[in-house]
Chains A and B, each alone.
Chain A
Amino acid sequence: MLNCREATRLYSEARERELTFKERALLRMHIAMCSGCRNFGEQMAFLRDAMRAYAKGRDEKDK
């Protein structure tokens, strides 16, 4: 089983590469029991959205 440190590492790496089937299964089992890591995973997705919005915001000029 994964511990939280390993689970959060995988959530971060999922932003750089596609996780394997086994990794995804292990993560799913972990977050079924761990609300902290479930929140962490959702927040990683949010972080990327926020960075995109941040970069895009700076791309737009008010014309």
Chain B
Amino acid sequence: MSGTTFTGDHAADPSSAWVLRDESFLAALRGQMLRFASLQLSDSQLAEDAVQEALIGALRNAESFSGQAALKTWVFAILRHKIADILRQRMRLVDASSLLREEEEDEDFSVLFDRSGHWQVDERPAAWGNPHESLREREFWQVFEVCLENLPANQARVFMMREFVELESDEICAAVGVSVSNLNVMLYRARVRLRECLENRWFLDGERAC
């Protein structure tokens, strides 16, 4: 990438001026992108470069976005593709030791299941009615993002690789250096947590008056 900084050459370009004038929006957006990219790549320099490239790409086309939400959407899509490319290119360069701390986390799951492996009464998944209707509600997506951010970092990382970047299992195993069974355990835990968070914070919210 060239030496362009993303605030450098846009001063004379009125079309993207609205974005650049709002420094707090840009700073917040950049922060979110960096957190996401760092988590996925485990390399702050690579993450920094990917975020900068994605931001420059989006700001060049800032006039085609009707607002901040649209720009955010677009810039994350670019970032996601960059991350997928980087992950595919450099297999197995990531330190896997930080990913596996399964023993510690086993304790959490004894809260969910009793000794015979059946749901504890309080933890049994409830019916969510027609959950797809929630996908149209802006508030649902705010809760959804909070729940994603609440996942432990190692689980969030592989879960996002699988479900957001949409890599296949073997690609993730190669990229982070874990076995398929380790990966399956991590994805399982991420899904269980995410499910529970959505149930508590969204689907049962308000129905627990007592």
Contacts and interface: CB of A to CB of B under 8 A. Distances in A.
Interface of A: 3-6, 8-9, 12-13, 15-17, 34-37, 39-40, 42-44, 46-51, 53-55, 57-63
Interface stretch (B10-18, B73-81, B89-97): B73-81
Contact of B135 (A8, A15, A49): A49
A9 B188 contact: yes
A39 B199 CA distance: 11
Contacts of A50: 131, 135, 144
Contacts of B116: 3
B144 to A, nearest CB: 7
A55 B3 CA distance: 30
B70 A61 contact: yes
Interface of B: 64-67, 69-70, 72-74, 76-77, 80, 109, 113, 116-119, 124-128, 131-132, 135, 141, 144, 162-164, 166, 169, 183-184, 187-188, 191-192, 194-195, 198-199
Given A16-B184, A60-B73, A62-B66, A36 B132 contact: no
B135 A12 contact: no
Nearest to A45: B131
Contacts of A9: 184, 188
A46 B125 contact: no
Given A43-B131, A61-B74, A12 B188 contact: yes
Nearest to A16: B169
Q: Give the dominant DSSP class at A's interface.
A: helix
A63 B114 CA distance: 52
A43 B76 CA distance: 26
19 contacts: A3-B113, A4-B117, A5-B118, A8-B192, A12-B187, A13-B188, A16-B187, A17-B169, A36-B119, A44-B195, A48-B163, A49-B132, A54-B141, A54-B144, A57-B141, A58-B72, A59-B74, A62-B65, A62-B66
A41 B192 CA distance: 11
A53 to B, nearest CB: 5
Contacts of B70: 61-62
Contact of A59 (B77, B124, B198): B77
Contacts of B164: 51, 54-55
A55 B166 contact: yes
Contacts of B131: 43, 46, 50
Nearest to A2: B117
